[in-house]
Amino acid sequence: MKKINVMLIGVLLLLATMGGYWWGSHRIQDRESRIASKEPKAATQTARKILYYRNPMGLQDTSPVARKDAMGMDYVPVYEGGDDASITSTGQVRISVGKVQKLGVKTEQAKMRVLDKTVRASGRVEADERHIYSITPKFEGWIEKLYVNTTGESVSKGQPLFDVYSPELISAQREYAIAAQGVASLKDADNKRSMQQLADASLLRLKNWDISGQQVQGLAKSEATRRSLTFDAPVNGIVLEKKAVQGMRFMPGETLYQIADLSVVWVVADVFEQDIGLVQVGSKAQIRLDAYPDKRIEGVVSFVYPTLNAATRTVPVRVEIANPKGLLKPAMFAQVEIPAISKGEVLTVPTSAVIDSGTRQIVLVQLAEGRFEPRTVRLGSRSEDYVEVLSGIADGEQVVVAANFLIDAESNLKAALGDFGHAKGGAAPAAMGSEQPSASVTAPVNNKTAGVGHQGLGILNGVNANGTVSITFEAIKTLNMQGMTMDFQLANASLATGIKPGSAISFELVERKPDEWLITRLQARRQHEGH
């Protein structure tokens, strides 16, 4: 009986072991079959067809095979059936609402407004050329005594400058004295008339030598010959130059003093070529001097020079300023602001709305949420923040003013513009490399920043030879980045156009790759502007 029970237990254990093995094998096969059923879907996802590779900077350049650009960046694959950004057959750009929010797209209405532009230029204080006088004797002589002996000294009209001795001067005086005596002693009318003519000629010679009228009258009344004569200052002013030295010999035509009347001075400003059309004679100007930063001095544009400095591409503009207190001194540095003549209300968009390719300017018009249309526009005059649009958009249309470069990168606008040109009856630009398809186009976005721009303030140190810009910037809080000096790539080389080194700037950064930053907006700002 006991033996039967042991056998029964052994059979049950054997059956349980076999059942467990069968159940486990069945579960493994079932799991493998489920995994196998999913693999074709994953393989299908990873095996999406690559249409072509596009330039990572959005340039009109594609390649049928993977490659790198001149900066070492990988070309971006464009897959068939992408849905993040697409280009319609009419040339419109469609981007999902979620992607629009990620990119931080902002729009503003194109509207009519008056462009208040101020032309800014650097200049220097100069003496009024019409009020500069040179003291130049017309005869040979020696300086016996100096009354004004230092450069920069103020003089008044009629103030003695120096005494001169000249044999020619003594000879002319004696000639006049003899002629005067002859006039007095001769009785014959004809002889007396001739002697009077000789006396008048002697006096005229003294006058032609710049002897003052008072001194000439004194010589006419006096019978004695004076050994020396005094030269007086012809105007009120400042001695700009003094070559006269006591005891020196001078020759006819030699400049001994140069005196300038500084009650009115010029500020000669160097206006850039592109702004000279906005400056007119008679315009008011505001002058700020480094010597008196708290003073704003007003002047009037009196002359626009007819020549251009080929080295600096600037035109000199003369501003005339009253200087009764003598605060403005020649060679002082000045900052000049000239309000431009307004044309009245014109159609404008913010300057940040314009994408400049170098050959044409493009504005993205928002037709609906997530739907944009690139328009080629013709631009006119500019102000600090707005630019006139002569053609391409209409009053009231919404234009993209922020993240337009990121939309460009997402959708490859070059292809969109090609289709847009055909739709409007124009010719599409020829693509470099293989044909640029107008199908759906995608581009990866860095998940770290999600395409959001970071705002910064700083100073533009200059544009480097390789096209990068050197910027000394303040701390950027959104990046936890301390202030420092760095070189950055520009999304478009034209972003730095017209901004002089040393200018205060504001800019926008996006992360193109991990720890690789790109400037998508760059504009000058006034020094006193804050965050």
pLDDT digits (tens, 9 = 90+) for 486-499: 888 888 777 888 88
Dihedral (CA of 432, 434, 436, 441) sign: negative
pLDDT above 90 (res 345):
no
Q: Is 98 exposed, middle or buried (0-12, 13-18, 19+ CB in 10 A)?
A: exposed
pLDDT above 70 (res 436):
no
Q: What is the pLDDT confidence band of residue 161, given thresholds at 50, 70 and 90? A: very high
Q: 171-180, 195-204, 284-293, 422-431: which has the highest mean pLDDT? A: 284-293
What DSSP designation does 481 have?
Answer: B
Q: 70-79, 85-94, 204-213, 473-482: which has the highest mean pLDDT? A: 473-482
Evaluate whether 298 touches 287 at the Cβ level (below 8 Å). yes
Out of 274-288, 434-448, 489-503, which region has the weakest mean confidence (pLDDT)? 434-448
Q: What distance in Å separates the CA atoms of residue 493 and residue 479, rounded to the nearest whole number?
A: 24
Dihedral (CA of 322, 326, 330, 333) sign: negative
- φ/ψ (deg, to 5) at 479: -110, 0
Evaluate whether 410 touches 445 at the Cβ level (below 8 Å). yes
Mean pLDDT for the chain?
Answer: 76
Which residues, in sequence order, are CB contacts of 482 under 8 Å at separation 6+? Answer: 475
Would you tell me the crossing angle of helices 413-423 and 404-411 to the nearest 10 degrees?
80
More confident residue, 39 or 59: 59
Q: What distance in Å separates the CA atoms of residue 379 and residue 411, rounded to the nearest whole number?
A: 24
pLDDT above 90 (res 124):
yes
Q: What distance in Å separates the CA atoms of residue 122 and residue 391, rounded to the nearest whole number?
A: 34
Average pLDDT over residues 116-123: 86
Nearest to 287 by CA among 312, 268, 315, 310: 268
Q: What distance in Å separates the CA atoms of residue 305 and residue 425, rounded to the nearest whole number?
A: 46
The CA distances from residue 238 to 118, 156, 242, 250, in Å, are: 35, 9, 11, 22
Q: What distance in Å separates the CA atoms of residue 509 and residue 515, rounded to the nearest whole number?
A: 11
Reduce the DSSP state of residue 354 to 3 states and report it: strand
Encode pLDDT of 190-245 as tens digits: 777 777 777 777 777 777 777 766 666 666 566 566 778 888 888 889 999 999 99
Work out the number of other CB atoms within 10 angstroms of the CB of residue 412: 26
* Radius of gyration (C-alpha) of the chain in whole angstroms: 43
Percent of the chain beyond pLDDT 70?
72
Work out the number of other CB atoms within 10 angstroms of the CB of residue 224: 8
Work out the number of other CB atoms within 10 angstroms of the CB of residue 268: 17
**pLDDT computed for residue 6 by the predictor:** 53
pLDDT above 50 (res 439):
no
Q: What distance in Å separates the CA atoms of residue 471 and residue 485, rounded to the nearest whole number?
A: 6
Q: What is the pLDDT confidence band of residue 370, given thresholds at 50, 70 and 90? A: confident
E strands in 261-342: 264-272, 284-289, 292-304, 314-322, 333-339
Q: What is the pLDDT confidence band of residue 41, given thresholds at 50, 70 and 90? A: very low
**pLDDT computed for residue 47 by the predictor:** 57
More confident residue, 197 or 88: 197
**pLDDT computed for residue 20 by the predictor:** 55
Q: Is 264 exposed, middle or buried (0-12, 13-18, 19+ CB in 10 A)?
A: middle
